[in-house]
Amino acid sequence: MPENGYIVATTLRGPLEAFRRMGGDAETLVRHHGLAAGARDAPPTVALHRFVGVFQSAAAGVCDSTFGWRAGQAFDLSDLGEMGTALETAPTLGAALATFCRAFAAVQSDSVLRLHVSGGRAHLCYRILDPNLWPRDQDAEFTMSILSRLIARAAGPGWRPIALEFEHGAHAGLADESAALHCRIGTGAEWNELIFHERVLDLPMPGRDVAVFRPLLDAIVGAARAREAGLTISRRVRQILLADLGHGGVTEARIAAQLGRSERTLRRQLRAEGAVFSELLAQCRIDLARHWLSEGTLDAPDIALRLGYSDPSAFRRAFRRRTGQTPASLRAATHRA
């Protein structure tokens, strides 16, 4: 298992074909990002940062900021292998989405896909965890487009979400996407989020087949668990920290429980890898803070509160100690660039 994030390579088939149809040179594009162009012995996964880079370059190459969204609308679920078949044959839309969330690591690592329901609304949230992997707007729009089309398979072509939120900033193409969806699209959010009425979760999937779905569910959940089990414990802790910081107290005890370990066992396993929980927590805080400051989505007091610092001055001291500059100086330097 490579230490870098990965995604199954077949997810590039449709987008690269779309790029060709729009006049792009797909072979040159993938070579530019260090990928094999149609090699028979190509690896089953590609590095996540290369995948994201391909999408960013493709959008720039065809001068279309909606490239990711368009590619998602045309995406063939069969390119996800067993996962795609499971989504198609799930008994209900809710079962399909729950399966995708539960076994997402089977197709993409270092990322989170979550579904929760509140007040009659369903919230489907996606994010690549590494805050240093940026820009990634085309990947975000590609993924949310696939999810919206999956929902429409069950809800019908007239289905519309309540709202769509993206973590990246606005671009000209978002107006077209908003018009196509007939919903509000927000930007600068913490997560890429699709919000829709809870009731559609009970709708049957058109290709539902429980006899096919059940064994596939076991297989892909098992594959996801196996891939996660192959990660170092420090990497798994970092993933949880990056996903959960800003959502209540992130403590060593809580993370140990999530990983099915005692605090003592977690400390021992981290120590064996030369890691310490407090250091991982501190670095994740700084990585997220640097990202939010660079993007200008939050000011320093809000970041301090979200990351669990006692007050803004404690955040400023910690940030300067680790980066050699103040939050204000980093933001100013980023905006000048």
Q: What is the pLDDT of residue 1?
A: 34
Quick check: is 83 in a domain?
yes
Angle at 261 between CA 95 and CA 129, to 5 degrees: 55
Q: What is the pTM of this model?
A: 0.94
User: Which H/E stretch holds residue 210?
Assistant: helix 210-229
Rounded-to-10 torsion of CA 248, 251, 256, 257 = -40
Segment among 18-22, 35-39, 267-271 with least mean pLDDT: 35-39
pLDDT at residue number 332: 87
How many CA atoms does the CB half-sphere of 305 hold within 13 Å? Answer: 5
Residue 107 belongs to domain spanning: 65-210
Q: Name the percent of the chain lying above pLDDT 90.
A: 88
Are both 94 and 173 inside the same structural domain? yes
* Average pLDDT score, the chain: 94
DSSP state of 106: G
Q: What's the whole-number mean pLDDT along residues 74-89?
A: 97
Over residues 121-126, the mean pLDDT reads 98
Mean pLDDT of the 87-92 span: 98
Can you tell me the distance from the alpha carbon of 126 to that of 280, in angstroms, rounded to the nearest whole number? 23
pLDDT tens track for 22-58? 999 999 999 999 997 655 556 899 999 999 999 999 9
Output helix, strand, coil percentages for the chain, rounded to the nearest 5: 60, 10, 30
Distance, CA of 295 to CA of 269 (rounded, Å): 35
Number of structural domains the chain divides into: 2
Q: Answer whether residue 337 shows pLDDT above 80.
A: no
Q: Are residues 181 and 75 in the same domain?
A: yes
Q: What's the CATH code of the domain at 295? A: 1.10.10.60
Domain membership flag for residue 1: no
Calpha distance 305→322 (Å, rounded) = 18
User: With b meaning 16 or more CB within 10 Å and e meaning fewer, what string describes 176-206?
Assistant: ebeeebebebeeeebbbbbbbeeebbebebe
SS3 109: coil
Is the pLDDT confidence value at 2 over 60? Answer: no
Residue 244: pLDDT band (50, 70, 90) is very high
Checking if the pLDDT of 297 tops 90, the result is no
Type and span of the H or E element at 147: helix 137-155
Confidence of residue 151 (pLDDT cuts 50, 70, 90): very high
Considering the domain architecture, whether residues 295 and 203 belong to the same structural domain is answered as: no
